[in-house]
Amino acid sequence: MTEARAGLCVMGAFHMDVAVVASRIAAEGETVIGEGPFQDPGGRGAAQAIAAARLGADVDAVGVVGDDDWGQDLRAALIGEGVNADRVTVRAGSRTGVRLVTRLPDGRSSRVVGAGANAGWGPEDVEAVRGVIAAAKVLLVQAELPTPAIESAIAIAHGAGKKVLWHTCAAVGLAPERLAEIDVLVASLPEARAMLELESGEPCSPGGLARRVAALGPRWVALWGTETPGHADVGGGFLFDGERVHHVSPSEHDIRDDCASVDAFAAALAVAVSEDQRALGALRFAVAAAGLCTVAGTVAGTVASTVASTAAGAAFARFPTRAVVERRLAESAAAGHEKPPGALPVRPSGAAQPS
């Protein structure tokens, strides 16, 4: 593994998580009594910036918070993890966003986001941080911000000849020309199915999902999850590099399908791409990070203990350090894994997509 530190710009939402641990998700009109509430700094932008910093990256965070205590807490959390938060704007008169979470003992959860200050982040705000985006080797952006801001950031990074990773979600669609400027599209398996508008229960293998998403424009497509209809026993990380689908399974002991693991997966891919790691190597690195971010609670004995510790404010603490990930990779190498092939080259601005 390279010792070079990665230069990342992470643009995304910053909000406070307010979580309750309950035995089940409430039905419409129903009240379920749970344990909590627990408050924890969150948002894809904050989570992935901190996860990348833990993996050795030099990270500039870009986004917005309100001029309230939550905003101060979020900036302090970023700074405390070594993330440069100078470009996390404090918006006067706005409230910091919030995510309301119900967590179940088996690790599943339901989430509703009140965007707060994030909802006002627009192209003019992105233009104000053009220099930060253009100076980074990689832009990692998530779909929790307004689409015009996302598209502006992608266009700036691509125009500067930098690599772009986009963590998508079902609710956000990009213009075709922006999709064609993405080097790596990252999604969970359910997000990929929703992006393709597949019917519930319609079978499609993870590799098939990755190829179909890549047909929309991105050069690489990386998917993470535990199951997809018709392929319930297939899980882990999948990466289509334009030629073949690579698959890496996490440890059988890892809890593999919560928000923290998906954030670690995306952040680790961004770090690996910035270090010019090759396709399979980048995927192994990302899967190791994603699996490790939840393995501690399982080793302790119960899934429920992991859920409770996360809701109690330990979500960021679950992201592994570079040393821990490299130790996991060394163990995998000792088990006989092949050396990774094929690097992702830097694509000049305006270059044609591979067929």
Dihedral angle over CA of 12, 14, 20, 24, nearest 10: -20
Candidate CATH numbers 3.40.47.10, 3.40.1190.20, 3.20.20.60, 3.40.50.720; the one for domain 7-23+37-330:
3.40.1190.20
Alpha carbons 280 and 290: distance in angstroms, whole number: 15
pLDDT at 226: 67
Averaged pLDDT in 10-residue chunks for the chain of 355 residues: 64 93 92 92 92 96 96 95 95 95 83 93 96 96 93 96 88 83 92 83 86 94 72 72 90 58 93 94 93 53 39 64 92 64 40 36
Q: Is 109 helix (H, G, I), strand (E, B) or coil?
A: strand
Q: What are phi and psi of 191, to 5 degrees?
A: -65, -40
Q: Do residues 10 and 140 lie in contact, with contact meaning Cβ atoms separated by under 8 Å?
A: yes
Beta bridge partners of 112: 100
Task: Tell me 120's DSSP state.
Answer: G
Q: How many CB atoms lie within 10 A of CB 212?
A: 17
Following DSSP, what letter does each residue of 162-217 receive, concatenated? Answer: -EEEEE--TT----HHHHTT-SEEEEEHHHHHHHTTPPTT----HHHHHHHHHTTS
N-to-C CA span, the chain: 31
For position 308, what pLDDT does the model report?
Answer: 42
**Taking the CA of residue 215 as centre, how many other CA atoms within 13 Å lie in the half-sphere pointing to its CB?**
9
Q: What is the CA radius of gyration of the chain?
A: 19
DSSP assignment letter at 273:
H
| Confidence (pLDDT) at 272 | 96
> Which of left, alpha, beta for 349 (phi over 0: left; psi -120 to 50: alpha)?
beta
Please say whether the beta carbons of 108 and 134 come within 8 A.
no
Give the span between the Cα atoms of 288 and 268, in whole angstroms: 9
Q: Are strands 109-114 and 97-103 parallel, antiparallel or unpaired?
A: antiparallel
Helices (H) and strands (E) in the chain, counts: 12, 13
